[in-house]
Structure 1
Amino acid sequence: MRKEWILTEEEKLNKKRRIEENRRLRSAHTNESLLLKDNFNETINSTEKYDLDLQNVVLNRNYIYSSRSTSFRGNIDFIENVVTAFHDGFKLNPTSYGWSYPLAKKITALYQILNTKNTTALRLISFYKRLSEFDALNEIDKVNLVKSNLHFIFFFHSSLGYDPINDIYHEGIPSNDTPLYGSDIREAHGHDIYVRCTLIMRSLHSIVEMDRRIMQLTLVILLFSKGLSHFINCQEPSLNNYQQVLHAQNIYVEQLWIFLEQHYGSIQTIRTFTTLINKCMLIQALFRDIHQDINEKIDICQVPPIMRTLMHLS
């Protein structure tokens, strides 16, 4: 006689419950696996929507070797590491990413600005890839941060090479780089945007005159920011590991605060942070108008792919 034939009614009920529970657990595990697979595929699909040129530059390790040293003797060592990464990043001569606008056509001031910023973007990315905190991020978050914030960072970077006396912007370290002039901005975007941009730039340049390292640290703080693009009509992609990004940003904010307090005192530290925050808000409004102006004036097919992505042109 088979064993189950002599089970008591209670034992039969218990066995039935165990069978149903095992069936339920298997079903839940299957659903969870399918959900994880769907989420993974969704992540891959969203990544594929990014401009491939931007992905290749951000994730390519062939010509960039990140600085992985995270052991610093103190605040000065930390800051000098950023300065070294900045200078090394801006030695990049991106000849392989040439200007796509046909030479047979007249290169207007607006196209010249976009051309110059294309080179600046590649150098900024080269700079960021040398920082261990950026290098530690997952690939999707790296691309998301660059795509969401680099257009905003352009303004702060420009203050490093701005000559307020002659109204000239020197974008890079190489002396053979073609500078931009304030008149280029006026011709490209009109008098109102030119005046607003110049006022912001003069204020930021006053911080650069205190110490260039303040602005170089600010460039990193802004990269690890969230929500800078909310003034323009684009959906900022979510981050896979927001806590890691926030932690990285807090490191640089703390180091900048310590540096300012040690060299300039508490009052000047507060004033400097206040100025930077105020200019963030002004630049958000300014970029909204510049973004609209660019969309109305240019053929985006003639814009370098990386700039098309960074400027959210459609």
Structure 2
Amino acid sequence: MDKKKSVGKMKRRRDDLYCVVCEGSASCHNFGQISCHSCKEFFRRNARTSLEKLKCVNGETNCQIRFDMKSKCQRCRLIKCFQSGMRKDHLSTPEEKLSKQKRIEENRSIRLTKVNHENTSSILTDIDQFCLLQISNAYQTSIESIPSASSVISFDLLANKALSFTTVTEIDKISAMKLINFIRLIPEFESLNEEDRITLVKSNLVTLLIVRDLLLFDRQHQIVYDDNIHMTKQSEREKFAQCVKSLCILFYGYEEMQIYFSCLSNIIDIFDKDPLIIQLLLIILLFERGLSINNEQISILFDGKRIFDVYSQYVELLFRYLIHRSSFTKAICKMLHIVESIFQIHNHAQRYQQLFQSKNDYYFIDPLLKSLFQIK
């Protein structure tokens, strides 16, 4: 009740205000005096205009200025504005207007950022946070689960080009085993029956090997580092990666390796150097069905619905994580780019498999790689 009385008093006070220039109804102070909206805008437009440029309608500079007059003498109206106490020094200069507009935009940006932060800070549930932490820990555990290639393959062996086939396949085998160890730490994967687990690994692991390289790829030097956490000297890591690159060129061909590095270069920026996005993508592609490079095996999955549900679960988790990192709109754009990159990765996985199958030294290939690359 008291609030209504207060609002009523405020309205009456405003109704009691009259413009000092035209005596019309006014609501507030403008440029130092109480004025109506019309006189306020008139003064804003003309305050800096020289009086010499304005001519009096009757030539006597004493025209009556009232709110109910259709036409008012501009010279006399401006003079009355000044005489009534309106001040042109209260006008903003173009520089001040620009500065004010800039501050408004900055404040708006700050408010939007704050709103986005408030909206995205709660997008990840406690379960999501725990799941992401488990994924990160699982990948780190898998890296340390077996010795890295740089720990078991000497530089002398890398320099022996006659053994390039054996060395490259050994490196691929170590990478594949680490990925399998990572996959086995994913609870949803371990809950599947054995036949489905084997099918998913055989169908998708070649694709995962390419995604894993994104975590270790150096676009500037066009090399893929080894994941040996104990090799701390950058010069040694780079030397080993360059040697492996030379062997891969010898094994797969220079042109094929250029195509591969170009593929990695084109899509690596999508992931913003965030390993968790790539680790999530590893899991998503593990449970993916329709785009597998071995679709004939996907059709014999025993629990296809369960696998699709897990796939959808991790896709949604990735999307929420992307929103958490930026905003809803940016997350949508990022997801579209990721989908596009998945097609590129699958295409190169098919190419990679065909190249591997074209080699004749099957006798030296490890049984695990024979199974992954469908070599009989």
- Shorter-chain TM-score range: 0.5 to 0.7
Deviation (angstroms), 1:262:
1.5
Q: Which runs of 5+ in 1 are unaligned?
A: 1-71
- What one-letter code is carried by the residue in structure 2 that aligns with 1:151? V
Deviation for aligned residue 1:185? 3.6
Q: What is the CA–CA distance in structure 2 between the aligned matches of 1:272 and 1:311, rounded to whole Å? A: 31
Separation in structure 2 between the aligned mates of residue 298 and residue 105 of structure 1, nearest angstrom: 17
CA radius of gyration, larger in: 2
Q: Determine the structure 2 residue equivalent to 1:139.
A: 194
Preserved CA contact (<8 Å) 1:193 1:286: no
Greater relative contact order, per chain length (Cα 8 Å cut-off, separation 6+):
1
Taking only the aligned residue pairs, the percentage that are identical comes to 22
Letter in 2 for 1:140: E
Say if 2:281 is the partner of 1:218: yes
Closer, same or farther in 2 for the Cα pair 1:269/1:182, shift >3 Å?
Answer: farther
The one-character-per-residue Cα deviations of 1:52-110 (angstroms, maximum 9, x if unpaired) are xxxxxxxxxxxxxxxxxxxx723222211110111111111169xx99xxx899211x4
The verdict on how the C-alpha distance between 1:146 and 1:245 changes in structure 2, with shifts beyond 3 A counting, is: same
Query: How much has 1:173 moved relative to structure 2?
Result: 4.1
What is residue 186 of structure 1 aligned with on the other side? 249
Conserved in 2, the CA contact under 8 Å of 1:89 and 1:123? yes
Question: Where do residues 152-231 of structure 1 align in structure 2 (5 Å cutoff)?
Answer: 152-176=207-231, 179=241, 181-230=244-293
- The Cα shift of 1:115 comes to 1.5
Aligned residue identity for 1:93: I
Consecutive unaligned residues of structure 2, counting only runs of 5 or more, are 1-124, 232-236
Partner of 1:90: 143
Q: C-alpha separation between the residues in 2 aligned to 1:271 and 1:310?
A: 33
Does the 8 Å contact 2:210/2:349 carry over to 1? Answer: no
- Structure 2 residue 179 is matched with structure 1 residue 124: yes
1:107 to 163, 175, 179: 163
Q: Indicate the residue corresponding to 1:14 in structure 2.
A: none
Normalised to the residue count of structure 1, the TM-score between the two structures is 0.67
* Number of equivalenced pairs: 236
Work out whether 1:73 is the aligned partner of 2:121.
no
3-state SS of 2:310 partner: helix
Displacement after TM superposition at 1:116 (Å):
1.1
Say whether 1:289 aligns with 2:342. no
SS of residue in 2 equivalent to 1:86: helix
TM-score by length of 2: 0.57
- Structure 1 distance, partners of 2:319, 2:163, is 43
RMSD: 2.7
Contact 1:207–1:214 under 8 Å retained in 2: no
Q: Give, as a single letter, the amino acid of the residue that structure 2 aligns with 1:303.
A: I
Displacement of 1:182 in angstroms is: 4.0
CA drift of 1:160 comes to 0.1
Deviations 1:28-48 (A, max 9, x none): xxxxxxxxxxxxxxxxxxxxx
Q: Report if the CA contact (8 A) 2:292-2:298 is conserved.
A: yes
What is the CA–CA distance in structure 2 between the aligned matches of 1:132 and 1:122, rounded to whole Å? Answer: 18
Amino acid at match of 2:369: M
Instruction: Establish whether residue 271 from structure 1 lines up as the match of residue 333 from structure 2.
Output: yes
* Amino acid in structure 2 at the alignment position of 1:75: D
One-letter amino acid of the structure 2 residue matched with residue 74 of structure 1: I
Partner AA of 1:219 in structure 2 = L
- List per-residue Cα deviations over 1:109-153 (Å, max 9, x = no partner): x44332212111111111111111111111111111111100111
Contact 2:161 2:247 in 1 (8 A): no
Distance 1:281 1:288 in 2: 11
